[in-house]
Structure 1
Amino acid sequence: MPETSAPPDEPVTADSSPVPPGRPPARPDTGSGPAHDPRLAAERVLPLRHPWRWVLTAVVVVLAAQFAHGLVSNPFYQWDRFAYWFFRPVVLDGLVITLEVAALSAVAGLIGGVVLALCRLSPNPVLRSASWVYIWLLRSVPLIVVLLFLYNFSALYRTLSLGVPFGPAFFRFDESRLATDMVVAVVGLSLNEAAYAAEVVRSGVLSVDQGQHEAASALGLPRGFQFRRIVFPQALRVIVPTYVNQLIGLVKSTSLVFYVSLLDLFGTVQSLGSTYPGDIVPLLLVATFWYIVLTSAVSVVQFYVERHYSRGALRTLPLTPLQKIRSAIRSARARIAVGAGI
């Protein structure tokens, strides 16, 4: 029988573990590699300096501090009178009228804007042209002119009728009785708001990918169902931020209804300022703060509506203010625990 030679001894590493065949044994670390170069270890990576950013920050902080100090220390503002007028029933009554006018005009304006946008997107040339003319005209005329024209509408048409054109009238309306101050304000603001809302809605509809329309048509879905369930929900992601800006402008535009004899928040403040001339500045501050409260409430609603319609478009929804506070508290507790060595 021929003798068989024993297999050679397998090389081992420093920890006596066998090295797989075909792999050279590891060399001991001598500390001479680039990771252990003392010259590299001695160098530090310095962050990029932004001196002008800190200068601008200091300027902003100083200006803000001076502004706050002026608000608190300047006796001209009469904060005691501001506190007296802020919750007075007459001011709150004007605030309620402002809310009513803004809410009714926002709803009517949005409905009118959707109808006008659909007419502009319609293949019918008559509807498309009429919608374009309406939007062009109402966006060209100042809102105060529209309100004053409607306020004096009874001088042009004392009665309104519904019937056959150039023929008998079936129903007649007394315009002077129908056109109350509230109706004139709501109609004027709604007509103006619809012209702007139409372009907002149209831009949102056009932002939806064309493939969505083609896929819905390939499924044989009715056009109305396509718009309600597929196109419009996706368009709202674009419509909501822009239209909320319109709502904020609408809330501030309600101050113009004072010129059609409707005493809203601004009209009430103006009337009280005429009666109490020494309280003009506190009353203007009262109106300013209430408008800030209203627009801030609209902005909060905007955040949650945008967050709702961003589902499916964003991987992670933005945190709500309450969630941000909880996250900050958890982070602070974690840092404290690490510092205490727990």
Structure 2
Amino acid sequence: MTNSVVNRPAGDLPPDGAGSPAAIKAIRLRHPWRNVFAVVLVLIVALFIIDAAQRPAFDWPAVGKYLFDRRVTQAAFVTLQLTVYSMVIAIILGVTLAVMRLSPNPVVKSIAWVYLWVFRGTPVYVQLVFWGLLSIIYQSIDIGLPFQEPWVSFETKVALSTFALAVIGLALNEAAYMAEIVRAGLLSVDRGQDEAATALGMSWLQTMVRVIIPQSMRVIIPPTGNEVISMLKTTSLVTAVPFTFDLYTRTRDISAETFNPIPLLIVASIWYLFFTSILMVGQYFLEKRFARGVGDRRPDRKVGDQTGSVTGTLPIIGAGQPTVILPPKHDDSTNGDGGLR
């Protein structure tokens, strides 16, 4: 037995439900001004590229010379390290702060709020300058009991390098923003999910790991991806620490030697665009993975009681009338439930 589903406009159905459906003559809408606008944009982009290729100030031979220079590639790798280390610490600390913000304990909630208020309310460049002056503010790092002789003492400038200070400064600033992103994602999950998990006997940790966090990732991933890309570009500010081995600072130092800054700026921009493109591709696949199952349900479709076939009325955009999906016809040799008579 072969089941068939026939789609036809509601106004063209024969009275007895038999016969072939009438063909729909679709006419494509014309958008002449849209095409003109697209042609103008293409011409502008082409003219810009041609003009840029002929500009002597860009000095494209110098761009090709320094693009894969050993100093530049090492600085690009250091920039990538700054981004990864800072974001890992920021995500861990951001999740902790988000949980603290949602805590019923007023002291814990207030501490988290003050942290966010300070780090979101001051520029990251100013914070990095303070971290660069940490060895002046705290000349040593002491470990021990308060008001007692320290068990172990380290000089701050020896214990913490400028690279470590740059990572700490970037991570603590970014954690304030990640906390709000994570908190928004956790609040986006329906409270009934938490209640259902509690009714099943799950602990708070099991509920967060197995129920709440997986559902909130669909909301957390997109802004987190944007923050990672933003962090990649924010690493250009670590010269305030001062840390001088990142990509932007290194290319700036090379341009100070050659007295030709524009090609080196292009070189730095190309490397930033390369890393950003990789991060955007990774963000796309992460969003696609955590968005599985969203939008798959079709409330405007229903299944026939006897045949299990799809029936109902579906709209056709631009046709002005709905489409009726008829249930399949049955052979005389079968009854309604598909069995032989």
TM-score range, shorter chain: 0.7 to 0.9
The structure whose Rg is larger is: 1
SS of alignment partner, residue 220 of structure 1: coil
Q: Distance in 2 between matches of 1:200 and 1:174?
A: 36
Q: CA deviation at 1:302?
A: 0.5
Equivalent residue in structure 2 for 1:268, among 238, 246, 250: 250
Q: Distance in 2 between matches of 1:126 and 1:177?
A: 35
SS of alignment partner, residue 151 of structure 2: strand
Equivalent residue in structure 1 for 2:231, among 250, 257, 277: 250
Equivalent residue in structure 2 for 1:294, among 260, 271, 275: 275
1:212 alignment partner in structure 2: 193
1:176 aligned onto 2:136: no
- 245-254 or 262-271: which moved more? 262-271
SS of alignment partner, residue 169 of structure 1: coil
TM-score normalised over the length of structure 2: 0.76
Q: Distance in 2 between matches of 1:161 and 1:122?
A: 32
Alignment of 1:115-154 (within 5 A): 115-154=96-135
SS of alignment partner, residue 141 of structure 2: strand
Q: Deviations over 1:236-280 (max 9, x none)?
A: 1110000100000000000111231331111110100100013x1
Q: Flag the structure with higher helix content.
A: 1
Gaps of 5+ in 1: 1-25, 27-34, 36-43, 317-342
Q: CA deviation at 1:51?
A: 3.5
Q: 1:51 to 1:90 in 2, by over 3 A?
A: same
Gaps of 5+ in 2: 1-15, 17-21, 298-341
Q: Distance in 2 between matches of 1:146 and 1:286?
A: 28
SS of alignment partner, residue 283 of structure 2: helix
Equivalent residue in structure 2 for 1:203, among 184, 195, 203: 184
Code of the aligned partner of 1:143: V
Q: Distance in 2 between matches of 1:85 and 1:262?
A: 18
User: In the comparison of the two structures, how many residue pairs are matched?
Assistant: 275
Q: CA deviation at 1:221?
A: 0.4
2:166 alignment partner in structure 1: 185
2:292 alignment partner in structure 1: 311
Contact 1:182 1:262 (8 Å CA) reproduced:
no
SS of alignment partner, residue 221 of structure 1: coil
2:145 alignment partner in structure 1: 164
1:235 aligned onto 2:219: no
Q: Distance in 2 between matches of 1:231 and 1:45?
A: 47
Code of the aligned partner of 1:87: F
Q: Deviations over 1:206-226 (max 9, x none)?
A: 111111111111111000111
Code of the aligned partner of 1:103: V
Contact 1:269 1:284 (8 Å CA) reproduced:
yes
SS of alignment partner, residue 104 of structure 2: coil
SS of alignment partner, residue 296 of structure 2: coil
1:223 alignment partner in structure 2: 204
> Relative contact order, CA 8 A, sep 6+: which one is greater?
2
State the superposition RMSD in angstroms. 2.0
Code of the aligned partner of 1:224: L
Q: Distance in 2 between matches of 1:54 and 1:84?
A: 40
